[in-house]
Amino acid sequence: MARKTVIAGNWKMNKTAAEGKALVEALKGLVADVCPARAEIIVCPPFTTLGAVAEAIAGSNIKLGAQNVHWEKSGAFTGEISADMLKEAGVEYVIIGHSERRQYFGETDATVNQRLKAALNAGLKPIVCIGETLEERESGNTEKVLAAQLSGGLAGLDAEVVAGLILAYEPVWAIGTGKTATPEMAEETHRFIRSFVAGEFGQAAADAITIQYGGSMKPENAAALCAQADIDGGLIGGAALKADSFAALVKNAIAAGQA
């Protein structure tokens, strides 16, 4: 079954509104020939940069994502943001449960699940992040950790909803470190994730769900990773911060994914 290639740039805490606008103005021209029926291109700027980027990408094939969403509609949650606020800003996608949120801000599988349900209720398209630490991989616990993250994170969801989700498998030891999982190692884990989804939600959901790889994906390694059968694109940090590297990565990933 052919799945679309989905590439999302996670800008993390980088780019002011002016810098973000300049980046997407350059990016627009470089990816204008990418057909939206074959691939999705998403950028996920910081909250205060969303408005400027939304304006700059209007009418283009670049979609807007955010990096977090709270589960309540409003209230006393200092520093958080609601799904409706994101929708109003023109956001279509939202990253949930990134390992940096888990590591530095106390995100758990239970809060991932709450955020995910709020995003879905508001009509946002979630990108749910999972991944093991180096210690967990070296002690042979990768599959156990991923299974727990998936069971907890996706708890209570219907198979039809799971079918439309985007998962991002990001081995924590590969994020921002320059260390990438080899394509074979990444594929082995993606295959496990897809089979776990099949076991919990059925084969149709497993066949349809998008599973991105993340962790030091660059223009140079995107093709080899995205050529793997169960890798459907990428969640990109560092290489998404420059228009030329992100555009090159997008093109290499799409070419490999559809070869």
By CB under 6 A, name the binding residues for ligand PGA: 10, 170, 175-176, 214-217, 235-239
What is the phi-psi region of residue 165: left when phi exceeds 0, alpha when psi lies from -120 to 50, beta otherwise? beta
Least Å distance between CB 237 and ligand PGA?
2
Positions marked active-site: 98, 170
In the complex, which residue's CB is closest to ligand PGA?
A: 237
Q: Which is nearer to ligand PGA, 163 or 221 (CB)?
A: 221
**Burial grade of 90 (CB within 10 A; 0-12, 13-18, 19 or more):** middle
- Compute the distance between CA of residue 38 and CA of residue 254 in angstroms, rounded to an integer: 8
Q: For residue 222, what are the CA distances in angstroms to 84, 150, 214?
A: 34, 25, 10
Q: How far is the CB of 41 from ligand PGA (least distance, A)?
A: 15
Closer to ligand PGA by Cβ: residue 111 or 216: 216
Cβ neighbours for 229, distance < 8 A, ≥ 6 positions apart = 187, 191
CB-nearer residue toward ligand PGA: 81 or 130:
130
Measuring CA to CA, which residue among 58, 6, 56 is closest to residue 34?
Answer: 6
- Nearest residue (CB) to ligand PGA, 55 versus 244: 244
Question: Taking the CB of residue 105, how many other CB atoms lie within 10 A of it?
Answer: 11
Q: What SS3 state is found at 125? A: strand
Smallest distance from the beta carbon of 12 to ligand PGA, in angstroms?
A: 7
Residue 91 or 127: the one with the smaller Cβ distance to ligand PGA is: 127
In the complex, the smallest distance separating the C-beta of residue 219 from ligand PGA, rounded to whole angstroms, is 12
CB 180 to ligand PGA: min, Å: 8
> Residue 63: beta bridge partners?
42
